[in-house]
């Protein structure tokens, strides 16, 4: 008979939660590294804007598949083995891109990248929280969500600068990422396990993420906010490079990477506001700020002006960050330690559906309508969803107060 895996007691916690957060950021950076390079791949391989969104969605479906099958496996086998496997998949993705084998290798690289993100999102968030010393759980929650969003933002910034100002634009970004992954592997290897009674990795079996009863009441509003916010980030990381080039005449890949980075910077800044607001209030307020960001995006698409696009990235990213940190905080607080990884993985399943489905919709509509018009349809749909989410949350809060 084995003991039920639980979080280690506070005395066993380790101050290396920042090292775990850094490894989290490195892994997530690899998932957005190709964003400014899609134009180069289109020139070299030759495929449509719809195929760009499909390639991007392959990554999202890889994330979703891993989260659905093994999203809560770290609750039984431990956090470290799962995260080390995630780094191995990230390295495999970089090697696939370095092989430059045409569209099949591009798709394989994105799929492996999705596997790595799927293993990291919920597990790394739980690991950073559990490694934090007593009294630093609030800082650890910010470190985890900032590592997630900051890593996603640094990926396109790094590859955009290297592709624009350094040689070998389709090789150097992934070679640099491999070096960072090796350093991250060493950091994770040195950190302690936080799951007491963790079983060997070979005993892992596919299990869908489950929601304990304590989490179900907060999951619906948290999931709605995550879906809407990640939809906006999905559009910025998949089709904004094409809009910058075709609609605005911006062909500098470093600028493209900077615009995408701005969305994730806004997300990180939005997360900083959550401790003052409280996690429950942050989610509906994040929906409101997200609607403002969508309105700015619509104005940029309608009038083909750069400034509103940059503001949309910053404001919309802030709304997404407020909603995400609020959602993570609410679910992490409600979930028992032995189910925390699975509950957070379930949240990110909903979030990554937000990245994939609307983005493919934009790609499908771009063929008959044009990229700008397809983007306008997207902003209208996401604004309606965000408004409905915010109203639902406010009504729920009003009923609770009554």
Q: What is the pLDDT of residue 400?
A: 56
pLDDT at 5 over 50: no
What is the pTM (predicted TM-score) of this model?
Answer: 0.85
pLDDT-derived band at 204 (thresholds 50, 70, 90) equals low
Torsion of CA 225, 227, 231, 232, to 10 degrees: 10
Cα(66)–Cα(41) distance, integer angstroms:
27
Of the candidates 283, 393, 387, the residue with the CA atom closest to the CA atom of residue 329: 283
> Percentage of residues in the chain with pLDDT exceeding 90?
43
pLDDT at 4 over 60: no
> Percentage of residues in the chain with pLDDT exceeding 70?
92
Yes or no: say if 271 and 146 are a contact pair by the CB < 8 Å rule: yes
pLDDT per residue as tens digits for the range 219-245: 887 888 888 888 888 888 888 888 898
Q: What is the pLDDT of residue 15?
A: 63
Cα(95)–Cα(46) distance, integer angstroms:
21
> Which long-range contacts does 382-386 make (Cβ < 8 Å, 24+ apart)?
382/228, 382/231, 382/232, 382/290, 382/294, 382/358, 383/291, 383/294, 383/295, 385/224, 385/227, 385/228, 385/231, 386/228, 386/287, 386/288, 386/290, 386/291, 386/294, 386/319
Which range (9-18, 105-114, 249-258) has the least confidence? 9-18
Sign of CA dihedral 104, 108, 111, 117: negative
More confident position, 400 or 201: 201
pLDDT-derived band at 148 (thresholds 50, 70, 90) equals confident
Q: What is the pLDDT of residue 191?
A: 94
Q: What is the pLDDT of residue 299?
A: 94
pLDDT per residue as tens digits for the range 313-367: 999 999 999 988 888 888 888 888 777 777 887 888 888 888 888 888 888 888 8
Of the candidates 381, 318, 328, the residue with the CA atom closest to the CA atom of residue 350: 328
pLDDT-derived band at 262 (thresholds 50, 70, 90) equals very high
Q: Which two tokens stand for residue 307?
A: 């400034």
pLDDT at 12 over 50: no
pLDDT at 257 over 90: yes
For 178, counting Cβ atoms within 10 Å of its Cβ (0-12 exposed, 13-18 middle, 19+ buried), the class is middle
Q: What is the pLDDT of residue 8?
A: 47
User: What are the distances in angstroms from CA 374 to CA 46, 363, 394?
Assistant: 22, 8, 30
pLDDT-derived band at 402 (thresholds 50, 70, 90) equals low
Q: What is the pLDDT of residue 180?
A: 98
What is the DSSP track for 26-76? HHHHHHHTTGGGHHHHHHHH---HHHHHHHHHHHHHHHHHHHHHHTTTHHH
């Amino acid at each position: 008979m084995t003991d039920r895996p639980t979080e280690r007691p506070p005395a066993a916690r380790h101050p290396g939660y920042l090292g775990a957060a850094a490894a989290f950021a490195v892994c997530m950076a690899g998932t957005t590294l190709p964003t400014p390079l899609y134009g180069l791949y289109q020139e070299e391989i030759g495929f449509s804007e719809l195929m760009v969104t499909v390639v991007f969605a392959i990554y999202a479906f890889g994330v979703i598949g891993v989260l659905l099958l093994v999203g809560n496996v770290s609750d039984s086998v431990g956090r470290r083995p799962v995260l080390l496997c995630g780094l191995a998949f990230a390295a495999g993705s970089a090697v696939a891109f370095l092989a430059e084998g045409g569209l099949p290798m591009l798709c394989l690289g994105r799929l492996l990248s999705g596997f790595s993100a799927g293993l990291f999102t919920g597990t790394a968030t739980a690991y950073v929280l559990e490694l934090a010393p007593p009294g630093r759980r609030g800082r650890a929650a910010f470190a985890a969500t900032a590592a997630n969003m900051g890593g996603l933002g640094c990926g396109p910034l790094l590859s955009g600068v290297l592709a624009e100002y350094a040689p070998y634009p389709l090789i150097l970004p992934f070679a640099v990422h491999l070096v960072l992954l090796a350093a991250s592997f060493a950091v994770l290897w040195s950190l302690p396990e936080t799951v007491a009674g963790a079983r060997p990795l070979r005993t892992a079996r596919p299990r869908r993420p489950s929601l304990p009863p304590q989490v179900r009441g907060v999951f619906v509003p948290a999931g709605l906010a995550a879906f809407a916010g990640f939809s906006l980030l999905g559009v910025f990381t998949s089709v904004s490079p094409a809009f910058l080039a075709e609609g605005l005449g911006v062909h500098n890949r470093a600028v493209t990477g900077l615009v995408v980075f701005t969305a994730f910077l806004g997300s990180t800044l939005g997360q900083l506001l959550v401790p003052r607001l409280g996690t429950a209030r942050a989610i509906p307020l994040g929906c409101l700020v997200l609607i403002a960001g969508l309105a700015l995006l619509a104005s940029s698409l309608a009038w083909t002006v750069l400034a509103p696009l940059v503001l949309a990235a910053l404001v919309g990213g802030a709304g997404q960050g407020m909603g995400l940190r609020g959602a993570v905080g609410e679910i992490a607080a409600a979930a028992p330690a032995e189910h925390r990884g699975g509950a957070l993985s379930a949240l990110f399943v909903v979030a990554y559906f937000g990245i994939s489905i609307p983005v493919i919709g934009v790609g499908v509509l771009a063929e008959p309508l044009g990229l700008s018009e397809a983007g306008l349809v997207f902003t209208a749909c996401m604004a309606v969803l965000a408004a409905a989410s915010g109203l639902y949350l406010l009504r729920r809060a009003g009923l609770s107060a009554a």
